[in-house]
Amino acid sequence: MTDLTKIVPAGVVTGDDLLKLLKHARDNGYAIPAVNCTSSSSANACLEAARKNNSPVMIQVSNGGGSFLCGKAIKDPNAAAAGSVALAMHVRAVAKYYGVPVVLHSDHCAKKLLPWFDGMIDADEEYFAKYGEPLFSSHMLDLSEETDEENIAICVEYFKRLSKINIWLEMEIGITGGEEDGVNNENIDPEKLYTTPEQVYSVYEALSKIGPMFSIAAAFGNVHGVYKPGNVKLSPEKLGNHQAFTKKKISSSLEKPIFLVMHGGSGSTDDEIALAVKNGVVKMNIDTDTQWAYWDGLRAFEKDKHAYLQGQIGNPEGADKPNKKYYDPRKWIRCAEETMAK
């Protein structure tokens, strides 16, 4: 891949630099991986993988992830926002050392979770006042459970606020199936899993009046969770239809005037992913697979060192041999990071 630091700086990118980065992705036919992180460790693993592959990366946090980061013992209604901000601060502090562009993003925010969203924007505005850029690079509103009219209207109001501090908005129209972070769409009407070109254009028409920094997660059969390839019926060709419809409506010189996002990629074939990217997907969410990768490193370590992990003293090398170097969290957490970063 091209050395993107010649286009945008290493570290967290926001505003015009983020727009440049996503235009580069769209124009050069690649999507940036967006990985849900629940700790500084999983965030570091993502950054390590990005550095190894000389690739930009998006580190994103969900409402549940933010609550976990704050500490599950904390029941304060602001815990999710506090934890999300904590992760953002950590990534801000270390990202530049990895030498790649990093996008800080918050994942699905349903209507019932808007207080979390507001808390993060408050932190963005405070950070912007001090440093001239927001804390996060982008945020996502997922109001796909609401009517299209209400979904778009709420997105418009928030986008006006976000535009003032140079934050990208991702929104979802049409529903991603499966279950994630407490939102269950496993029994949804299958027709709702496929967004129409008219729906996508209605979003574009409303948000483009405010600014260019927005993307649309249009449903094309996507399902959250883990599935064998071929078990999920995706129709990524529909994304091309969305682009063509909007291109005609606005008389655009661009073949792909819309920035699109892919959610629920587990179970997708390589060809389906390639076609989605060809049709303008610039961000692809990853969660289930990286969760397994992180666990797999810990699983393998415990299996290999099981006999050294049954007590502080005593192992196959002797009854008085200490085991601290095996149960030290830095040892087994690092194993998890390594497999996640592969």
Q: Which residues pair with 36 in a beta bridge?
A: 60
- Give DSSP secondary structure letters for 174-232: S--BEEETTEEETT--GGGGB--HHHHHHHHHHHTTT-S-EEEEE-BS-BSS---TTSS
Helices (H), 53-147: 63-70, 79-94, 114-131
Closest C-alpha to 285, from 180, 194, 192, 173: 180
CB 135 within 8 A of CB 127: yes
Dmax over Cα atoms in the chain, in whole Å? Answer: 78
Strand segments (E) across 199-317: 214-218, 260-262, 281-286, 313-315
CA 266 to chain centre: 14
Q: Is 181 a catalytic residue?
A: no
Query: Pick the catalytic residue: 3, 27, 107, 124?
Result: 107
Q: How many residues does the chain have?
A: 342
Residues 84 and 77: their CA atoms lie apart, in Å, by 13
Structure tokens at 337: 């990071």
Active-site positions read 107
